[in-house]
Structure 1
Amino acid sequence: MRHKVPWSVSTRCSRICSESTDWHCGVSFLLFATRKVPQESLGFSPNELVFAHRVRGPLRLVKETWSSNFAESKSLLRYVQDFKTRMSETLKLTRENLKQAQETMKLWYDRKARLREFKVGDEVLVLLPLQGQLLAAKFSGPYPVVRRIGDTDYMLETPDRRKKH
């Protein structure tokens, strides 16, 4: 069963903090729920990828107790063999799901993507990372094209930066 995570973790945290004065009590439950929900692109939850089985949460424990479906004890060798099998199957399924998700993302991207070609001497804007801020970027330029390297790669003259892009 797949679930889409409707909100980001930061949205959930802000909601918990704004609705309760005891917000710190709900963070562990929020993290447990986030780690337990399967990711759409992978088809597995983070816990399943790390531990190779579904994590037994409170509701699952209650259900097992009521239905008396406790797993029989296994030998250590049998447990390790089963664990190895589950890990290899999980890895195979994860790769398949990730490949499918990547193909879907590529289709969405390719709908609006256009091939742009530049000539030597053309001036272009470049999206460059901001210094000191890993995830932030801004357009800089215009910079002149010095030479074409590949189908989509160009060497630019960037006098206000140390290395050429």
Structure 2
Amino acid sequence: MLPYVQFGIWEVPQASTGFNPFKFLFGCQPQGLLDVAKEAWEQQLAPLCSTIEHIQEMREKIDRVMPLVRDHMVKAQQAQREIT
């Protein structure tokens, strides 16, 4: 059952970052079975891209997300300081 628990944890946004760990690791939102079934049913499959294009897109996403993550981390740290 551990992989299912891990997937559940990874898809929930964390209070300290504001994003889910899955998005940080893979650069996209996790897709459960219902998401995959819906996508296949609607036939809205994304076109494949090359490795270089994928890396460039990931770099751009990271550059856009990191300032937000830093902001969330600072706010979470301040909130934790106030609690203690």
Residue equivalent to 1:4:
none
Q: Radius of gyration: which is bigger?
A: 1
TM-score after normalising by structure 1: 0.45
2:78 to 76, 99, 103: 103
The superposition leaves residues 41-90 of structure 1 with CA deviations (integer Å, 9 ceiling, x where unpaired) of: 21111211222222222222112112222112223332221111112222
Structure 1 moving runs of 4+ over 3 Å: none
Query: Aligned equivalents of 1:107 and 1:39: distance in 2?
Result: 19
Residue equivalent to 2:69:
94
TM-score after normalising by structure 2: 0.79
Residue equivalent to 1:78:
53
Matches within 5 A, 1:109-120: 109=84
Query: Aligned equivalents of 1:63 and 1:46: distance in 2?
Result: 23
Query: Aligned equivalents of 2:19 and 2:56: distance in 1?
Result: 21
Aligned residue pairs, count: 84
Matches within 5 A, 1:138-157: none
Query: Aligned equivalents of 2:34 and 2:67: distance in 1?
Result: 29
1:67 to 27, 42, 45: 42
Query: Aligned equivalents of 1:49 and 1:77: distance in 2?
Result: 19
Query: Aligned equivalents of 1:62 and 1:92: distance in 2?
Result: 34
Greater relative contact order (CA < 8 Å, ≥ 6 in sequence): 2
Query: Aligned equivalents of 2:42 and 2:70: distance in 1?
Result: 34
2:29 to 45, 54, 65: 54
Q: Percent of pairs identical after alignment?
A: 25
1:92 Cα shift?
2.2
